Structure 1
């Protein structure tokens, strides 16, 4: 590893050493090789392209479908005085032009771009001037139509690579099966290049205990787990309504809980997330809209109140527990109704052509798009208003849109939570004259200039609420003044977006002429059915090691039994006699007069086998006599 990379790591990120495999990945990428890196959630994927980019000249183009995550990355880099910008769905044309000009003519190191933007005429026009040194493809599984989250705009990356010969690419994902891994490499490889170097971190998480419970009372089991395992926790639910219901039931049981879902206003979501991250609320009950980009290492338990539809999602969400390396639990709950519901999903997720055409007709009418409307422009899409006007249920709408997206007719981004951005767009001497003419706006202008560094150079993220507090104005007044300054050409102001976005990726045609590739549609449906069956097999299997099942699914066949999941512990029970169980229990009581780490317990009870100690610990955790503290230490409730 070059000293430059180590110096870069220390200078910008404060770390003395790389995590396992990061060093080899970075070294390979710096030498110009194409890389596919499979690293678990929280495994440090972003450093694998950030360090090479900061250690060399030129710009790193980062392609990501997650707007909230892009914005977080840009803000984090800017806090370290690293120039970074993002371009994504929903931005106005002049804002995009402004960012591209700055990226091309400044010391910009990172440009985050949503895949929909790659083949626009505007992006192609600026591409030669950007000086791209590296390409990073985040959430790379999206490029494979055999993956669990296929997004056709990702296929445009292949054309981008053709336009940038010799520029190496690093593809990053936390979860991809062997078939998807190969498909990623095939889709991204340019003819004549050597094959991708594939790096895959082990899927072994020795500190994470996986358990599955078939339940009769969901809330009773959740409460039982949360009372046994102290510390920060996440409870995942499949619906917004259920997240609120479970949160209220937990609060009624004396547990500090709050709920989170995509339907809440942006500022409310941010407050809920911040309170949980700061441990002001212990449990966050949420849909899968929660968690991306949140770096909270001390989560002691992740509970799935409902069955996810695939192991990819389950592994990523469960993996948010125990990132600090201390003991943590991933608990999955299910009942027979949940199994039946999963089995019925393929027919719902992959609607027939008539249904898909009907969704297309309704959407283009809702957006008032005439036949012949050109692709490439984003439109706000208010789901509630649409459903009310067209009397079409939300499932039919969402899965119809997904089918249209997968066949390349449009792009649908359901989670566009983009904060407000602002940049001054007037010469400083003209601004002085404007302030004299419109004195009422001077306090706002001065506050913006004093509060946000670089606001004259590039769009910065702003908070209207924060500005209103500083000026002791009403938020509505601040927004009204910002819109006025924007209309007068003083600033370029882009208010925050909460609305989903729809963008045509083909010219709008007469609905009756719309066709779907039925063969590919059916194949995706069959693969989805297989993924569901793997999820059901995982939940209902009572013999195979949970970690091995997950690892094998993703191609990691080198795993041994973890020894700490429910199935491993169950298999060990017969070898542990009642007499031995009683002896270990007595020794644990004697040792746990104060909270201890598991390693300290093993040291004190070294005459016993570790797996036997684990069996006894987990038994008493289930019984509510042994507790896991927020820092991962365990203690015995005497009496």
Structure 2
């Protein structure tokens, strides 16, 4: 009996300790949230995820775009000792998050394929000894020799995997390099993982859990329904006219998505000519130009941003009233993510897809463009090795600047075919292709103290410039700082070319290490160059992937062509949320409301009609009598269903279910 009593006392003591610790950690999480982000409370689901991660649980968080995913790993990582390793394929977003963290006083660094060996080594040293709290890495870095050497010395308290759908071959953006995360887990088995994604079908969810070696299935899923976001498909054969009409009808900040850089300029000009404030954005703009355009749009100095899908990542503008897609994206995952940038403040907003008869043909044609024939892919792989003068058996982890225009011209290749072939070779694990990586200039001082002072005295002409460098950028003696020659030129009243020469002079003198800006696509070989006869495109990389792509395109065509299913329900069902209600605000729901019936009445009658007509056709009058609903209501529903070609009249005069 005494043993039982002691056991109960012990359990009671444990429970009290647990509660005290629970409350203490909750207070700490809220303190960090307030201190660094200025928020008193977490958004729905954020705190549950933070607590799960803080308790050391492997966790998968499915949160729509704008749901505040980054806070779910940043807060618990800050609350513990050590650093958080963040894996993300989006280098632009990586750079933005690092800059944002540094701006609020948190030490963060990034390692990706655009950095030199020296930069990467210094970043690792700082992560090991310098108090770095967040180390962002691109997935291809995980298997490098240097990373694997340094990993045991990094005190990692959490692995955060952003864009986690990339680990699944069924995800719309599968990247083989993500599979390396499992090997990292084997080296640091006690470190929990937080996997984050805004878009994942049920099949992809299961794949993420399995491939990231979750110790137990632990999933937090935010309801993807957006009660304030009205999805609209607007059929039109004059998209330009319709765009102007829509933007004049609905006021407020807007994003217009197009497929090509050329179209961003053309449509922005069209809007300006129609007295609508607009600018354009694409990946080819300079860093300064991108920042300037984003800032003006964020501050509502520019109303409409016409952009490719390069725009929007990491930009949290809550008051976007309208997101228009001029061209249909090739997956509902991409559409849901981009459309979801509207109405993050909870106020009524619109996501509009302009749809023409030509869109279906374009999307089907895209399948052939996106998946060149295997022989064409192999020819491009062979040409690539010849272009870099790379012998068979060489090239492992070698990185090359890649001038695609020059390559296509030299081998008389189609640029789209090359682009898509490189993406397939990337999925097959042969190389990585980084599109137009814009790496700003970097500077780090190599001397300090007396040595630097002596140089300044001996070279009085360089002294003012050195002082401006040191005043403008921090941490120059311990790490590389991104610098912008144009900003320095403005501060010194000179031009960028003079700044460039001054930096070169200091670099040659051994005072600084200066790495000029690089703006070029990159090819990194993940395997040594193969003989062509040994190049393999496995079914999951080509045939199965092609079929999956066709299914995705088919889902987009269904979304654009359908006019009888609630848009929100159709999207949510695609992501496995099958028990959702009609949203009441999309174009389909508004069309139903014109009958004057409530959602419930309309749905009940429609379901009954479907059940009967799927069994056998029936004359309309007999159908109305059989159903037993109010006759006028039933006739209204039948007319709507016939107008939308869901039911039709046979030659016998009987009604049949067509869908």
Q: Structure 2: how far apart are the matches of 1:558 and 1:436? A: 75
Query: In 1, are the aligned partners of 2:539 and 2:545 still within 8 Å (CA)?
Result: no
Which residue in 2 is equivalent to 1:246? 267
CA deviation digits over 1:195-246, x for unaligned, max 9? 2311111111111111001111101110111001111111111111222221
Query: In 2, are the aligned partners of 1:26 and 1:51 still within 8 Å (CA)?
Result: yes
Q: Structure 2: how far apart are the matches of 1:376 and 1:444? A: 38
CA deviation digits over 1:254-276, x for unaligned, max 9? 11112222223333223222222
Measured after TM superposition, the shift of residue 515 of structure 1 is 2.5
Q: Structure 2: how far apart are the matches of 1:399 and 1:390? A: 16
Q: 1:144 aligns with which of 156, 168, 176?
A: 168
Which residue in 2 is equivalent to 1:477? 498
Q: Give the secondary structure class of the aligned counterpart of 2:462.
A: helix
Q: 1:523 aligns with which of 544, 548, 572?
A: 544
Which residue in 2 is equivalent to 1:386? 407
Which residue in 2 is equivalent to 1:630? none
Query: In 2, are the aligned partners of 1:250 and 1:257 still within 8 Å (CA)?
Result: yes
Question: Is 1:57 the equivalent of 2:78?
Answer: no
Q: 1:128 aligns with which of 152, 161, 165?
A: 152
Q: Give the secondary structure class of the aligned counterpart of 2:231.
A: strand
Name the structure, 1 or 2, with higher relative contact order (CA <8 Å, separation 6+).
1
Query: In 1, are the aligned partners of 2:88 and 2:137 still within 8 Å (CA)?
Result: yes
Q: Structure 1: how far apart are the matches of 2:389 and 2:315? A: 38
Question: Is 1:300 the equivalent of 2:321?
Answer: yes
CA deviation digits over 1:310-335, x for unaligned, max 9? 00110111111111111111000111
Aligned length: 574
Q: Structure 2: how far apart are the matches of 1:83 and 1:505? A: 30
Higher radius of gyration, 1 or 2: 2
Measured after TM superposition, the shift of residue 480 of structure 1 is 2.4
Q: Structure 1: how far apart are the matches of 2:541 and 2:127? A: 39
Which residue in 2 is equivalent to 1:30? 54
Q: Structure 1: how far apart are the matches of 2:75 and 2:531? A: 49
The TM-score normalised by the length of structure 1 is 0.87
Query: In 1, are the aligned partners of 2:446 and 2:513 still within 8 Å (CA)?
Result: yes
Which residue in 2 is equivalent to 1:311? 332
Which residue in 2 is equivalent to 1:352? 373
Question: Is 1:182 the equivalent of 2:206?
Answer: yes
Choose 521-530 or 504-513, whichever is displaced more. 504-513
Q: Structure 2: how far apart are the matches of 1:572 and 1:413? A: 48
Query: In 2, are the aligned partners of 1:371 and 1:510 still within 8 Å (CA)?
Result: yes
Which residue in 1 is equivalent to 2:353? 332
Which residue in 2 is equivalent to 1:604? none
Q: Give the secondary structure class of the aligned counterpart of 1:337.
A: helix
The 1:25/1:252 distance shift into structure 2, 3 A limit, reads same
Measured after TM superposition, the shift of residue 512 of structure 1 is 4.2
CA deviation digits over 1:386-444, x for unaligned, max 9? 23333222111111101110101100111422333322222322222222333332222
Map 1:529-548 → 2, pairs under 5 A: 529-548=550-569
Measured after TM superposition, the shift of residue 381 of structure 1 is 1.3
User: Which segments of 5 or more consecutive residues in structure 1 lack a partner in the other structure?
Assistant: 578-639
Q: Give the secondary structure class of the aligned counterpart of 1:118.
A: helix
Root-mean-square deviation (CA, aligned residues, Å) is 1.6
Q: Structure 1: how far apart are the matches of 2:579 and 2:441? A: 47
Query: In 2, are the aligned partners of 1:33 and 1:196 still within 8 Å (CA)?
Result: no
Q: 1:92 aligns with which of 85, 93, 116?
A: 116
The 1:364/1:480 distance shift into structure 2, 3 A limit, reads farther
Map 1:206-245 → 2, pairs under 5 A: 206-245=227-266
Q: 2:178 aligns with which of 127, 149, 154?
A: 154
Q: Give the secondary structure class of the aligned counterpart of 1:107.
A: coil
Q: Structure 1: how far apart are the matches of 2:97 and 2:206? A: 28
Q: Structure 2: how far apart are the matches of 1:346 and 1:527? A: 10
Query: In 2, are the aligned partners of 1:146 and 1:180 still within 8 Å (CA)?
Result: yes
Measured after TM superposition, the shift of residue 519 of structure 1 is 5.7
Which residue in 1 is equivalent to 2:487? 466
Q: Structure 2: how far apart are the matches of 1:40 and 1:219? A: 30
Q: 2:281 aligns with which of 238, 260, 269?
A: 260
Q: Structure 1: how far apart are the matches of 2:533 and 2:95? A: 39
Q: Structure 2: how far apart are the matches of 1:27 and 1:39? A: 16
Measured after TM superposition, the shift of residue 554 of structure 1 is 1.1
Map 1:385-424 → 2, pairs under 5 A: 385-424=406-445
Map 1:60-75 → 2, pairs under 5 A: 60-75=84-99
